[in-house]
Amino acid sequence: MALLVQKFGGTSVGSISKIQHVADKVISAREQGHDVVVVVSAMSGETNRLIDLAKEISTAPPPRELDVLVSTGEQVTIALLSMALIEKGHSACSYTGTQISLLTDDVHGKARIRSINSERILTDVKKGCVVVVAGFQGVTDEGHITTLGRGGSDTSAVAVAAAINADECQIYTDVKGVYTTDPRIEPKARLLKKITFEEMLEMASLGSKVLQIRAVEFAGKHNVPLRVLSTFEEGEGTLINYDEEGGMEQALISGIAFNRDEAQITITGVPDKPGIAFQILGPIAKANIEVDMIVQNVAGDETTDFTFTVHRNDYDRSLEILKKHAVELQAEDVSGDDTIVKVSMVGVGMRSHAGIASKMFEVLSKESINIRMISTSEIKISVIIDEKYLELAVRALHSAFDLEEPSPQNEENSLSET
Ligand code: ADP
Ligand code: ASP
Ligand code: MG
């Protein structure tokens, strides 16, 4: 008998019949003798619908009010799921973030969790009740409702699991687990049986939205065993944990991530002198815009070209800021492109293997895909390419690095296939 946190995402609670199905799954876990705390998202599409409503009133809705609005989606599903459980003869009780004192900082729209009142949850659990918690939302010390950022119910689930010391945090979704790449782009993607926190963190931060990055961070920090599995199909899913078989040879590549939310800004012909990077990026940082990749080329005539990437939502603002500063920067030109994507290969095995980057570039060149920017770290290589080549690049790399078929090399490591 275990204490489980089961999180169900938007598509898993997208209709009344799906909510009934989720109730049956929870009941089946109860019947196996487990104690269950459930965390749910809003019904699929609901958060977007609420954001669109706000945008009909204001182009920049006040963040506090937006949080009050978007947090309602999860309040609907906790009540409906609890009703379904009660209707099926089980004891259940729904809680909003405020009711379990899920305290956060006051950064509306991307608040960070500080603490949770586990007593309240555990008292109900001890009485044999299924506790159903609203994901994505919290409350500040002053009682203002906050939300945790898109996909934030994953983080709520991990935080609840850490607070009540659950044996496992199970993230139920619309795919069977974590795959070598998004199965919607590459149907031949392989389901991973296990992946390390480190690799999952890299995959999530490079665009694999199967788990919110903060959820992985939190689970790693608090050592919460995390499992991603399907609401609709049976299976063991993917376990995300620390690599306990340390020392064993790692898989070379664990997966391919991609991010469509990218845009690039280029400023050419600026004087190549100390402080120029600061002069260019200073105003961008001041506007609270996060910069991702940066490339600087010295032209040889004492000028330099500077390119960086930002989130696509920040593209127009970034371009506008730099155009405003172009004269004082003595720039020849400021231009941009918001039809680019980032494709990344991730694997802890890269640490000890040379030549992965050159193979990646060779594969892309064979497909005549131009690489615009490159960035590497110990366990990942990212490239920026035109968005029209995304599917082609992902599939070509997936095949060239043998991610589809179980290879003998991959068989005995932390990423063994199912
Ligand atoms: P939920 O609503 O359950 O939170 P999400 O849409 O947030 O579901 O996340 C699940 C989706 O993540 C899948 O439908 C899949 O398209 C996408 N995804 C992206 N990369 C991966 C990957 N490497 N493995 C599995 N799913 C992935
Ligand atoms: N409902 C929120 C969203 O759509 C949170 C979540 O689904 O995890 O982002
Ligand atoms: Mg999600």
What tens digit of pLDDT does each residue of 199-249 get?
999 999 999 999 999 999 999 999 999 999 999 999 999 999 887 664 444
Q: From the CA of 370, how far away is ligand 3's center (Å)? A: 31
CA distance 136 to 120: 19
Tens of pLDDT, residue by residue over 70-97, are 999 999 999 999 999 999 999 999 999 9
CA distance 304 to 323: 17
CA distance 199 to 396: 21
- Which residue's CA is minimally distant from atom 21 of ligand 1? 182
Q: DSSP letter string over 204-235? A: HHTT-TTS-HHHHHHHHHTT--EEEEESSS-S
Strand partners of residue 179 = 191
Atom of ligand 2 nearest to the CA of 10: 7
Q: Which ligand is nearest to the CA of 47?
A: 2
pLDDT at 337: 97
Q: Which residue has the higher pLDDT, 252 or 126?
A: 126
CA distance 35 to 296: 55
Pocket test for ligand 2, best of 41, 43, 113 (most atoms within 8 A of CB): 41
pLDDT at 166: 97
- Which residue's CA is minimally distant from atom 8 of ligand 2? 151
Tens of pLDDT, residue by residue over 146-168, are 999 999 999 999 999 999 999 99
CA distance 212 to 240: 13
pLDDT above 60: residue 63 = yes
pLDDT at 353: 78
Confidence label for 135 from pLDDT (cuts 50, 70 and 90): very high
- Which residue's CA is minimally distant from atom 6 of ligand 1? 210
pLDDT at 367: 97
Chain centroid, CA 399 distance in Å: 24
Q: Which ligand is nearest to the CA of 153?
A: 2
Q: Which residue has the higher pLDDT, 295 or 414?
A: 295
Tens of pLDDT, residue by residue over 330-368, are 999 999 999 999 999 998 888 877 789 999 999 999 999
Tokens read off for 83: 């009703």
Within 140-295, residue ranges assigned H as helices are: 153-163, 197-205, 213-221, 276-286
Contact by Cβ (8 Å): 39, 101: no
Q: CA–CA distance from 135 to each of 38, 105, 393 (Å)?
A: 9, 16, 35
- Which residue's CA is minimally distant from atom 4 of ligand 2? 47
Contact by Cβ (8 Å): 155, 147: no
Q: Which ligand is nearest to the CA of 71?
A: 2
Atom of ligand 2 nearest to the CA of 136: 5
Q: From the CA of 73, how far away is ligand 2's center (Å)? A: 9
pLDDT at 248: 41
Which is it for the CA torsion 13, 106, 143, 62, positive or negative? negative
Angle at 250 between CA 247 and CA 253, to 5 degrees: 160
Q: From the CA of 128, how far away is ligand 2's center (Å)? A: 28
Confidence label for 385 from pLDDT (cuts 50, 70 and 90): very high
Confidence label for 417 from pLDDT (cuts 50, 70 and 90): very low
Confidence label for 293 from pLDDT (cuts 50, 70 and 90): very high
Residue 265: name the closest of 206, 314, 327 by CA. Answer: 314
Confidence label for 259 from pLDDT (cuts 50, 70 and 90): very high
Q: Which residues line ligand 2 (CB under 6 A)?
A: 9-10, 41-42, 47, 73, 135-136, 150-154
Helices 390-400 and 356-366: angle between axes, nearest 10 degrees: 130
Q: Which residues line ligand 1 (CB under 6 A)?
A: 9-12, 41, 151, 173-175, 178-179, 181-184, 208-210, 255
Q: Which ligand is nearest to the CA of 210?
A: 1
Atom of ligand 1 nearest to the CA of 256: 23
| Cα pseudo-dihedral 358, 252, 175, 201, rounded to 10 | -90
For a pLDDT cut of 90, what percent of the chain falls above it? 84
